Amino acid sequence: MRALVVTGVGTEPAVTDIELPAPGPDEVRVRIRAAGVCHSDLSMMNGTVAAAYPLVLGHEAAGVVTEVGDDVRRVGVGDHVVLNWAPPCRQCWSCQHGEPWLCAQAGAPAVPRGHTTGGDPLHVTLGLGALAEEVVVSERAVIGVPAGLPFESAALLGCAVLTGVGAVTRTAAVAPGESVLVLGLGGVGLATVIAARAAGAGRIIAADLAEAKSELARAAGATDFLTSDDTLGKQIRALTDGRGVDHAFECVGRATTIRTAWRATRRGGQVTVVGMGAKDDLVALSALEIFHSARTLRSSVYGSSDPDRDVPELAASVLDGSLDLGPLITDRCELSEAPAAFARMARGEGARTVVHFD
């Protein structure tokens, strides 16, 4: 079977023939039908996030179960499923205290799974390696969805949508009429805009370095688009009667944009960091401004979500039309074209590319 594999930091990904093991007693084999090209994979390619190689890329996908282990009860052959890259164990302290997105096992290093045709052990992104024709994963890493849900929409539920929607509804609990700023309009950023509109936010300001993102932002529900530059803070305050926004969502993962989000938020407002950044990119805030501003600064890990609960709810919202994911998908391609999709992402072009598997 074919998969998109990267062999080291800075190397180009390539479609490679690999071999996967048969499912164990509590594992399932899934034929992938659609997968998203996500910035987290790019971070593993360029070294922002440490990874082991050779690495099968991909962690945002949907498909059909083709084989199940003897002890699997969660799904059956033929079921349509969304892959979950952070399945909670349901046993650790965080899981037992209502925070499965902080599960102690979710960030554990993944063991090698399968090998190249040359016999080299393969690592898989976030335990999945979903930019592949098939995956073999724990049954806890799959969530059943209705067969009527398009695969390209289902794929995005597993990462971009769950993260962006969860940040708005679960982490920040945006209320109708509140003002929102979204910094960074990749897949997660646009999902955050879509969620803010669905939550009934009033003014929704979207900002990005690329002026070309303006049309995408407005299609997703932004009331205003601003190009990120040194005047961004002043422009935001001009749109909010000088106060700043009630909620700022940083969807980039950089200290400079976190600081921008902080300054653009009103006193007593909330800053939610959604983007995953580098460990040595430090954010500096003075003790006085922390006290004086009375702002809240926090992160949103995986949208503060419980995927087993939230993915079926999101699927229902897509099917009934209350959640429109159309503006999120800017490109579609085959697996052989996925390296070019990563190159576009690195240049800041588009939002989500969905890889389709026949």
Task: Let me know: does 217 contact 196? Beta carbons within 8 Å.
Answer: no
Task: Let me know: does 88 contact 106? Beta carbons within 8 Å.
Answer: yes
The alpha carbon of residue 82 and the mean position of all alpha carbons in its chain are separated, in whole angstroms, by 13
Domain spanning 2-159+304-356: CATH superfamily: Medium-chain alcohol dehydrogenases, catalytic domain (3.90.180.10)
- Asked if the peptide bond before residue 54 counts as cis, ω within 30 degrees of 0, the response is yes
Q: What is the pLDDT of residue 109?
A: 56
Q: What is the pLDDT of residue 10?
A: 84
Residues of the chain falling short of pLDDT 70: 107-111
C-alpha 216/C-alpha 327 separation (Å) is: 6
User: Same fold for the domain at 2-159+304-356 and the one at 173-299?
Assistant: no
Domain spanning 173-299: CATH superfamily: NAD(P)-binding Rossmann-like Domain (3.40.50.720)
The alpha carbon of residue 179 and the mean position of all alpha carbons in its chain are separated, in whole angstroms, by 23
Under DSSP, is residue 94 helix (H, G, I), strand (E, B) or coil? helix
Task: Let me know: does 317 contact 323? Beta carbons within 8 Å.
Answer: yes
Task: Let me know: does 153 contact 318? Beta carbons within 8 Å.
Answer: yes
Q: What is the pLDDT of residue 107?
A: 62
C-alpha 302/C-alpha 352 separation (Å) is: 17
Amino acid found at 97: H
Q: What is the pLDDT of residue 108?
A: 62
Domain limits of the chain? 2-159+304-356, 173-299
Token readout for 341 is 């999709």
Q: What's the N-to-C CA distance of the chain in angstroms?
A: 13
